[in-house]
Structure 1
Amino acid sequence: MSKSNLSGKKLLRTGLQIGISVAALTIVLSKTDTDKLLEVIGSANPWLLLGAFIVFNISKILNALRLNRFFRAIDLNISETYNLQLYYIGMFYNMFLPGGIGGDGYKIYVLQKNHEIRMVNVFNAVFWDRIAGIFALVFLTGILVLPSTFAALYEPYIPATWAAIILCYPLSWVLTKMLYKQFLSIFGITAIESILIQTAQVVSAWLILLALGLPSNHIDYLAIFLVSTVATVLPITVGGAGAREITFFYALNHLQLDANSGVALSLIFFAISAISALLGMLLQGKTTSKKPKKQ
C-alpha cells in the first residue's frame, strides 16, 4: 500500500474520530442546561479537584509500572524513570494525535528502535497490558453495578453479573496460558496492579463527585463512570471525548438522576486526563534522541 493511501486512511480516521466526538458532545450539550452545567463546574471545590488530579496520576504511574513488568517478561529491561516518560508521551499521543501512530504505536516504535528486540514481542507486551486493564475494568464494573440502582431495575441480570465477576480472572488466566505463556509468571501481580489502577480512577471520579457537592447516589454515578470508561476504550473518539459524556447523559436520564452532575464529572475527568497528557508533550523528543540506559 502506498504512503499516500496510508496518509489518506489516517486522515479519514482522524476526521471520523473528531466528527464522532463533536457529534456526541453536541447532542449532550444541546439537551443539557448549559448554564446550570457551568454553574455546577464553577462551584466545584478546587482542593478536592486537586486531589482527583493527584489520584488520577497515581493510577497512571501504577499503569506504567505494570507495563514495565510486561516489558521485563520479554527481556526488555529499561529504567522505571524512562518507562514513565515513555508512558506519558504515549498518553499525549493518544489524547492529542488521534488517527495517527497512537500512544501504543509510539512506544512500540521507540522501544524497537532503541533495543535489539523483535517488534512483535514489544507489541505483545503492550497489547496484553491493555487486556489486563480491560479485565480489571469488567471485574470492578460488575462489583459496582451490583449495589447500584441498575441491579434493582434489571434484577434478572444479577446472576449474569455475578458470573462475569467470578469468571473474569479465571478466564484471563486461561487466555494468558493459551496465548501468552511468557506473561503467566506475572499474572497474579499484574492482576492486582490492574485492580488498583482502576480503583484509583474510581477514587479520582469519587473525589470529583465530592467536589461537585453531589449528596447521594454516588454508587450509581461511579458504576456509570466505569461503563463509560469501557466506551472510551474503543478508538472511535478523540481521547474518549464525547463517548463518556453521552454515556453519562443517557444512563443518568434512564435512572432519573441529575444529568448535569454526571456530565460535569465527565468533562472534569476529561480535563484532568488532558492536563496530565500534556506532561507528555514536555517530554517529547527526549526518548528518541538516544538509546536509554538499561536498568
Structure 2
Amino acid sequence: MNKWLKWTLKIVVTAAALYLTFRKVQWRQTATLLLSADGIWLLPALLFYNASQWASAWRLQYFYGALELFPGFYLNLRLYYRGMFYNLFLPGGIGGDGYKIHYLFRRYHKPVRELLTATLLDRVNGLIVLGLLIVLIAGSGLLPQGLLPFPAWLLPVAYLLGMVLFAALLRRFLARYFEVLPRTTLISGLVQGLQLTAMICLMKALHIHGPLLPYLLLFLSSSIAAVIPFTIGGMGARELVFMAGAPLLGAVPAQAIAVSLLFFLLTAVSSLAGGFISARNGDNASS
C-alpha cells in the first residue's frame, strides 16, 4: 500500500475515533480540565515516561544480545527514540521498528528474519507483563458483577496457563531468547511501573481524587489498543477505550479522556527528541 495512502487512512481512523469519543464526552468539560491542569506535575510525568523508554531500550538490548548483536546502549537508545519519532511524525512505510531493523541490518549484516524475531519478542514480552497487570487489577474485585461471562478468578488461571505455554514454545523453538526471558520480564515490570507512575502524576495534575485503580486499569487496557497500528501514535484508540470503560469502572469520563490526551502529549513531546537526534547525528545506516 502506498505510504501516503496508509498515512491518510491513519489520519481518518484517528479522527473517526476522536469523533466517536467526543460524541459521548463533552469537549468543553475536557478542555476545562486540561486548561486547569497543575503544571508542576507534568515535569515528573515526563521524566517517568522517558525513564520507561530508557528501560524499554535496555530490555531490547537483551534480545539483541541473544543474537550476539551488541550495538551499545547509547546507539540502541538513539535508535529507540528515532523509532518513536518515525512512528508518530513521519508518514513513512517502515515505521519505527522497521527503521531499527533496517539500520541494524545495514550496519551489522544480521539476517532480517532474526532481527525481526528479536524485535517482535521484545514487544510480546512487554505485552506479557501488561496483560499480567490487567489480570491482577481486573481480578481484584474492581470489575462490576456480570461484566464478564465467566467468574473473574478464571482470568489469572487462563493467563498463567497461557504464559506456561508461551515459555514452553519459546524454550523449544527459540531457546536463545528463553535464556534472557527472566531478566527482560523484570525490566518489563519496571517499564510498566514507570508508566503507571507517570499516569498517577498526570492524574495529580488534573486534580483527580478518589480511587486510582479504575484509571490505571483503563490506561493499561488502552495501551494494548494503542499497539494496533491503525491510528497515529495510538491517539483515538486510547481515548475510545477510556470513554467506553470509564462508566463501567466508576471513573469520570471527562477526566479519563483528559488524562488520556495528556499522556499522548507526553508521548509526542518525548518522540520529538528522536527528530533532533536524527538531525544532529545524521543517518549512518550505510556505514
TM-score bucket of the superposed structures, by smaller chain? over 0.9
CA distance in 2, matches of 1:16, 1:179: 37
Q: Which amino acid aligns with 1:128?
A: L
Q: TM-score, normalised by structure 2?
A: 0.93
3-state SS, counterpart of residue 147 of structure 1: helix
Deviation at 1:20, TM superposition (A): 0.8
Residues 136 and 195 in structure 1, CA contact (< 8 A), matched pair in contact too: yes
Aligned to 2:208: 214
CA distance in 2, matches of 1:291, 1:179: 33
Aligned to 2:278: 284
Q: Which amino acid aligns with 1:204?
A: A
Residues 57 and 76 in structure 2, CA contact (< 8 A), matched pair in contact too: yes
Deviation at 1:232, TM superposition (A): 0.5
Q: Does 1:263 align with 2:257?
A: yes
Q: Does 1:43 align with 2:29?
A: no
CA distance in 1, matches of 2:282, 2:61: 15
Residue 72 (structure 2) aligned to one of 64, 75, 79: 79
Q: Which amino acid aligns with 1:212?
A: L
CA distance in 2, matches of 1:11, 1:290: 24
Q: Does 1:230 align with 2:233?
A: no
Q: Does 1:247 align with 2:241?
A: yes
CA distance in 1, matches of 2:177, 2:136: 26
CA deviation vs aligned residue, 1:259-293 (integer Å, no higher than 9, x gap): 0100001000000001000000011153632678x
3-state SS, counterpart of residue 219 of structure 2: helix
Q: Does 1:119 align with 2:112?
A: yes
CA deviation vs aligned residue, 1:190-228 (integer Å, no higher than 9, x gap): 111111111211111111112111111210111011111
Deviation at 1:171, TM superposition (A): 3.1
CA distance in 2, matches of 1:52, 1:134: 22
Aligned to 1:3: none
Closer/same/farther in 2, CA of residues 219 and 199 from structure 1, 3 Å limit: same
Q: Does 1:149 align with 2:142?
A: yes
Q: TM-score, normalised by structure 1?
A: 0.90
CA distance in 1, matches of 2:39, 2:174: 44
Greater mean deviation of Cα atoms: 122-131 or 90-99? 90-99
CA distance in 2, matches of 1:60, 1:251: 26
Closer/same/farther in 2, CA of residues 177 and 162 from structure 1, 3 Å limit: same
Aligned length: 285
Q: Does 1:31 align with 2:27?
A: no
Closer/same/farther in 2, CA of residues 268 and 193 from structure 1, 3 Å limit: same
Deviation at 1:162, TM superposition (A): 1.9
Deviation at 1:153, TM superposition (A): 4.8
CA distance in 2, matches of 1:100, 1:289: 19
3-state SS, counterpart of residue 284 of structure 1: helix
CA distance in 2, matches of 1:245, 1:282: 28
Closer/same/farther in 2, CA of residues 18 and 157 from structure 1, 3 Å limit: farther
Tell me, which stretches of 5 or more residues in structure 1 are unaligned? Answer: 1-5
Closer/same/farther in 2, CA of residues 290 and 108 from structure 1, 3 Å limit: closer
Greater mean deviation of Cα atoms: 203-212 or 231-240? 203-212
Aligned to 2:130: 137
Closer/same/farther in 2, CA of residues 176 and 227 from structure 1, 3 Å limit: same
Closer/same/farther in 2, CA of residues 211 and 148 from structure 1, 3 Å limit: farther
Closer/same/farther in 2, CA of residues 115 and 80 from structure 1, 3 Å limit: same
Q: Which amino acid aligns with 2:61?
A: N
Closer/same/farther in 2, CA of residues 174 and 244 from structure 1, 3 Å limit: same
Residues 45 and 199 in structure 2, CA contact (< 8 A), matched pair in contact too: yes
